[in-house]
């Protein structure tokens, strides 16, 4: 809708009606369409200011390290954005409760400054710039999602402020030769692979798979990696199709898929996209009476509202997860184990942590140990310390390759069983058996 | 058999899209207001149905009259309190006002229901008619039937009742209608209320078929806009025609060899441009206010 407005170039004189003064305007001077953005910002300011104040980190006093992050608190990835924020907030709370970060003889408290980017990558980039130039943050934590991260990392690179991101997994983020971007999460190619491996571990594994993917760079990267891996393992890819990212209706794709496996439904349906599309796929499979033996989605099943919005139909669905509370890690950080992280998180926010929260907390931990190792808060020294970092945390190993990606941490496969998330693969960390095949919708 | 299934999918989705655009078409055709808060009304309808289903266990289809009544009242109040004040102001003012309303309503919805995705799962979802390889889901069929029914009902109301005629007369010539003794402000409030009620009905049906979150209002405003331009203003059947054409781009075209689903938005908008070139009034349109 905002795009619709930007074409109209509404005249500035109408601003008189909205009660803005010119100083407000100057802040968003880089914006192409001044009016809607100004209006939006006003409303955002109205709705978000209590949140901003609550985070309490506006002043960068001498003994406070200020971390900045643009986050998608409204818009299409608002759910994931809030989970990211909670992950950051938990780290801030715990690090301060444990005495802050020691650098030489000085102890620094930590504060977080965040803005809502409305799930818009362009807005996210503007806010990153604002965080660096106006708010003078010391370091940057990542936004939610690959698209926003791709925008923001360029700003971080320009100002030579290290950014540790926790929610952008596409290879593209790390293939631009940038030196100030670090990602704590496993790369995109792992997302589908771990679920196919789980399927292959079955005594009677699926023989045919249909892969559907949103057409954004992250999802397509995951989908092509999945196709190549499935073929290399002897699973026949009978259907491969992309659809527009954010599509609300997938009946066209699913109708074609229904007869793709030599006239029948493929054994396995693998979706690479976003949570909303995963929910839509399951709803429409039920409506169209498509009964695969296994459903798997790269993003979606691990977020709590996948289960609440699908109810019993969420059962048996596989998901890939960067982290699950069932994994066995003994970290050097104050959380220590995944189980302990889950406990503290639940105490703080009243609900289960998702992997988005855990990886976001891990991004904070990466900074914490890098700053300690560097013995300095100089951005350049902290960057170098990040590049050398190799620590075991509650989230798994945090260690970056030459491009800044964490290729050293494995992923896990989860399955929804009786409305609960169970870890089913790899076997070493699993707390439940993989249930297979999925019963038809009519028999649940 | 795939062809028959695709055609059925198309008719079901196209009719549902008619419901999405019906209220938008009415408000634009009669009042010359491009209601950017239309998607927000759909959102309120969806969340009302969701709330009624989860809290009061009212089926979204059975609760449809309730949702529509609530949205009618909301629409009436919004028109009477806010929009009537700028109705004579330049086009841009109503644009701005409805845009602001859209943001406001969507944010209030998010405040009340959080940004989590919501969806209704009824006991009968997933059931349908199976004829060989053809499968017709009950809930989609019901939604499509209701959409066609609403279109017909609105058309009859406008053509056959005194109030409906008064609405049409106001749309044709505001000043002449006033001279004939029609209370313009009330007609406008009624029209806007009806538009909101229809949006609410669409929302209640959408939330049963798709997952919903507060950011989706804008998506449906944009769709309603394209559908109305395609189908033409001034007649409810135009919304149905536009909905079917728009549904075509989403269900049938992507299955043609060589064209993937990635292009369905491009095709929908290309169709819109094509219609605007060949038949600027839309497929069935006749603008009143011009």
Best probe of the A interface among B2, B213, B225, by most A CBs < 10 A, is: B213
Torsion angle, alpha carbons of B219, B222, B223, B228, to 10:
160
Task: Name the residue among A204, A196, A418, A423 with its Cα closest to residue A316.
Answer: A418
The average pLDDT across A230-249 equals 91
The helix (H) or strand (E) run that includes residue B290 is: none
Asked if A370 and A386 count as a contact pair (C-beta separation under 8 A), the reply is yes
Asked if A130 and A115 count as a contact pair (C-beta separation under 8 A), the reply is yes
Taking contacts as CB-CB distances below 8 angstroms, the residues of chain B near A289 are 126, 128, 130, 135, 137
Residues 6+ apart with CB under 8 A from A36: A2, A5, A6, A10, B99
- Residue B264: CA count within 13 A, CB half-sphere: 28
Q: Return the bridge partners of A416, or none.
A: A421
Asked if B138 and B127 count as a contact pair (C-beta separation under 8 A), the reply is yes
Taking contacts as CB-CB distances below 8 angstroms, the residues of chain A near B104 are 43
Best probe of the B interface among A283, A286, A349, A354, by most B CBs < 10 A, is: A283
Asked if A29 and A2 count as a contact pair (C-beta separation under 8 A), the reply is no
Interface contact B111-A244, CB threshold 8 A:
no
Question: CA-to-CA distance for A340 and A344, rounded, in angstroms?
Answer: 6
Task: Name the residue among A70, A101, A106 with its Cα closest to residue A88.
Answer: A70
pLDDT in the model for residue A116: 95
Asked if A270 and A211 count as a contact pair (C-beta separation under 8 A), the reply is yes
The average pLDDT across A258-271 equals 91
Q: In this model, does residue A384 exceed pLDDT 90?
A: yes
- Would you give the DSSP letter of residue A438? P
What's the token pair of residue B15? Answer: 């009719």
Taking contacts as CB-CB distances below 8 angstroms, the residues of chain B near A304 are 116
Interface contact B215-A310, CB threshold 8 A:
no
Question: CA-to-CA distance for A160 and A70, rounded, in angstroms?
Answer: 17
Q: In this model, does residue A417 exceed pLDDT 80?
A: yes
Question: CA-to-CA distance for A368 and A386, rounded, in angstroms?
Answer: 10
Interface contact A244-B264, CB threshold 8 A:
yes
Question: CA-to-CA distance for A151 and B129, rounded, in angstroms?
Answer: 48
Given the structure tokens 């989403």, which residue do they identify? B250
Question: CA-to-CA distance for A113 and A53, rounded, in angstroms?
Answer: 9
Report the alpha-carbon angle A70-A40-A74, nearest 5: 45
Best probe of the B interface among A51, A246, A252, by most B CBs < 10 A, is: A252
Interface contact B216-A248, CB threshold 8 A:
yes
Interface contact B262-A215, CB threshold 8 A:
yes
Taking contacts as CB-CB distances below 8 angstroms, the residues of chain B near A13 are none
Taking contacts as CB-CB distances below 8 angstroms, the residues of chain A near B248 are none
Task: Find the CB nearest B6 among A14, A255, A286.
Answer: A255
Taking contacts as CB-CB distances below 8 angstroms, the residues of chain B near A242 are 260-262
- Rounded to the nearest angstrom, the minimum Cα separation between A420 and chain B is 18
Alpha-carbon distances, residue B252 vs A212, A257, B4, B15, B150 (angstroms):
17, 14, 11, 14, 25
Task: Find the CB nearest B251 among A47, A78, A251.
Answer: A251
**Omega of the bond prior to B115 within 30 degrees of 0, cis?**
no
Taking contacts as CB-CB distances below 8 angstroms, the residues of chain B near A310 are 119, 121
pLDDT tier at A26 (50, 70, 90 boundaries)? very low
Best probe of the A interface among B144, B211, B212, B229, by most A CBs < 10 A, is: B211
Taking contacts as CB-CB distances below 8 angstroms, the residues of chain B near A33 are none
Q: In this model, does residue A31 exceed pLDDT 60?
A: no
What's the token pair of residue B283? Answer: 């497929």
Residues 6+ apart with CB under 8 A from A166: A84, A87, A141, A142, A183, A184, A185, A356, A359, A360, A362, A363
The helix (H) or strand (E) run that includes residue A268 is: strand A268-272
Given the structure tokens 């996209």, which residue do they identify? A273
ipTM of the complex: 0.83
- Rounded to the nearest angstrom, the minimum Cα separation between A60 and chain B is 30
Interface contact A14-B92, CB threshold 8 A:
yes
Question: CA-to-CA distance for B43 and B24, rounded, in angstroms?
Answer: 14
Task: Find the CB nearest A243 among B5, B119, B261.
Answer: B261
Taking contacts as CB-CB distances below 8 angstroms, the residues of chain A near B137 are 287-289
pLDDT in the model for residue A27: 35
**Predicted model pTM:** 0.78
pLDDT tens digit at each of 290 positions of chain B: 678 888 999 999 999 999 999 999 999 988 888 999 999 999 999 999 999 999 999 999 999 999 999 999 999 999 989 998 888 888 888 889 999 999 999 999 989 998 888 888 888 887 888 887 788 999 999 999 999 999 999 999 999 999 999 999 998 888 899 999 999 989 999 999 999 999 999 999 999 999 888 888 988 999 999 999 999 887 899 999 999 999 988 888 777 777 777 777 788 888 888 888 888 888 887 655 43
Per-residue pLDDT reduced to its tens digit, A63-110: 899 999 999 998 878 888 999 999 999 999 999 999 999 998 899 999
Alpha-carbon distances, residue A202 vs A67, A197, A410, A418, A434 (angstroms):
45, 9, 20, 20, 8
Q: Would you tell me how many other CB atoms lie within 10 Å of the CB of residue B197?
A: 28
What's the token pair of residue A64? Answer: 């406070």
Per-residue pLDDT reduced to its tens digit, A266-325: 999 999 998 889 999 999 999 988 999 999 999 889 888 899 889 899 999 999 999 999
pLDDT tier at A45 (50, 70, 90 boundaries)? very low
Interface contact A249-B140, CB threshold 8 A:
no
- Strand-pair category, B128-131 with B134-137: antiparallel
Asked if B23 and B29 count as a contact pair (C-beta separation under 8 A), the reply is no
Interface contact A441-B126, CB threshold 8 A:
yes
Per-residue pLDDT reduced to its tens digit, A324-350: 998 888 999 999 999 999 999 999 999
* Max intra-chain CA distance, chain B: 61
Per-residue pLDDT reduced to its tens digit, A389-403: 999 999 999 999 999
């Amino acid at each position: 809708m905002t795009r619709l407005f930007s074409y109209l170039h509404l005249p500035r004189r109408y601003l008189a009606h909205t009660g803005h003064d010119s100083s407000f305007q100057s802040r968003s001077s880089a914006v192409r369409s001044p009016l809607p953005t100004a209006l939006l910002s006003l409303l955002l300011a109205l709705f978000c200011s209590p949140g901003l104040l609550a985070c309490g980190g506006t002043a960068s006093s001498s003994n406070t390290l200020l971390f900045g992050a643009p986050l998608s608190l409204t818009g299409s990835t608002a759910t994931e954005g809030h989970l990211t924020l909670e992950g950051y907030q938990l780290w801030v709370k715990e690090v301060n409760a444990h005495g802050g970060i020691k650098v030489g003889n000085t102890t620094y408290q930590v504060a977080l400054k965040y803005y809502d980017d409305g799930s818009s990558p362009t807005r996210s980039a503007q806010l990153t710039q604002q965080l660096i130039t106006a708010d003078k943050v010391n370091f940057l934590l990542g936004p939610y999602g690959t698209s926003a991260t791709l925008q923001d990392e360029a700003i971080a690179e320009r100002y030579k402020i290290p950014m540790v991101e926790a929610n952008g997994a596409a290879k593209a983020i790390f293939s631009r030769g940038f030196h100030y971007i670090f990602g704590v999460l496993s790369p995109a190619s792992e997302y589908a692979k771990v679920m196919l491996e789980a399927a292959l571990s079955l005594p009677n594994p699926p023989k045919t798979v249909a892969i559907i993917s949103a057409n954004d760079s992250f999802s397509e990267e995951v989908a092509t990696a999945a196709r190549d891996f499935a073929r290399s393992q002897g699973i026949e890819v009978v259907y491969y199709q992309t659809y527009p990212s954010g599509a609300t209706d997938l009946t066209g794709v699913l109708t074609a898929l229904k007869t793709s496996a030599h006239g029948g439904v493929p054994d396995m349906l693998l979706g690479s996209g976003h949570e909303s599309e995963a929910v839509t796929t399951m709803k429409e499979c039920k409506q169209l009476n498509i009964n695969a033996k296994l459903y798997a989605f790269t993003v979606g099943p691990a977020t709590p509202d996948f289960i609440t919005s699908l109810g019993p139909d969420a059962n048996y669905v596989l998901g890939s997860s960067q982290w699950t509370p069932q994994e066995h890690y003994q970290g050097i950080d104050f959380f220590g184990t995944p189980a302990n992280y889950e406990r503290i998180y639940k105490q703080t926010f009243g609900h289960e942590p998702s992997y988005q929260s855990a990886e976001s907390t891990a991004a904070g931990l990466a900074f914490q140990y890098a700053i300690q190792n560097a013995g300095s808060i100089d951005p350049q020294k902290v960057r170098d310390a990040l590049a050398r970092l190799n620590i075991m945390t509650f989230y798994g190993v945090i260690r970056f390759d030459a491009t800044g990606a964490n290729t050293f941490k494995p992923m896990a496969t989860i399955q929804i069983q009786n409305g609960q998330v169970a870890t089913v693969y790899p076997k070493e960390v699993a707390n439940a058996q993989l249930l297979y095949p999925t019963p038809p919708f009519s028999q649940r | 058999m795939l062809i028959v299934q695709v055609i059925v999918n198309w008719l079901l989705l196209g009719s549902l899209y008619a419901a999405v655009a019906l209220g938008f078409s009415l408000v634009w055709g009669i009042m010359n207001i491009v209601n950017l808060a239309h998607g927000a009304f759909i959102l309120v309808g969806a969340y009302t149905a969701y709330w009624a289903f989860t809290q009061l266990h009212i089926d979204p289809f059975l609760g449809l009259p309730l949702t529509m009544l609530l949205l009618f009242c909301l629409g009436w109040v919004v028109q009477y309190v806010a929009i009537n004040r700028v109705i004579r102001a330049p086009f841009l003012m109503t644009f701005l006002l409805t845009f602001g309303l859209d943001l406001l309503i969507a944010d209030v919805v998010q405040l009340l229901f959080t940004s989590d995705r919501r969806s209704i799962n009824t006991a009968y979802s997933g059931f349908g008619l199976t004829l060989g390889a053809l499968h017709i889901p009950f809930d989609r069929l019901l939604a499509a039937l209701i959409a066609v029914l609403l279109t017909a009902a609105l058309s009859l109301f406008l053509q056959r009742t005194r109030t409906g005629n008064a609405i049409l007369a106001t749309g044709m010539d505001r000043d002449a209608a006033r001279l004939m003794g029609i209370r313009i402000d009330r007609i406008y409030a009624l029209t806007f209320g009806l538009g909101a009620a229809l949006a609410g009905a669409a929302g209640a049906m959408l939330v049963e078929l798709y997952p919903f979150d507060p950011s989706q209002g804008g998506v449906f405003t944009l769709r309603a806009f394209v559908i109305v331009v395609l189908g033409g203003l001034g007649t409810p059947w135009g919304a149905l025609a536009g909905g079917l054409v728009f549904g075509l781009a989403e269900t049938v075209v992507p299955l043609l060899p060589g064209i993937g689903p990635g292009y369905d938005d491009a095709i929908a908008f290309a169709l819109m441009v094509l219609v605007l070139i060949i038949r600027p009034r839309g497929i069935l349109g006749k603008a009143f206010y011009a």
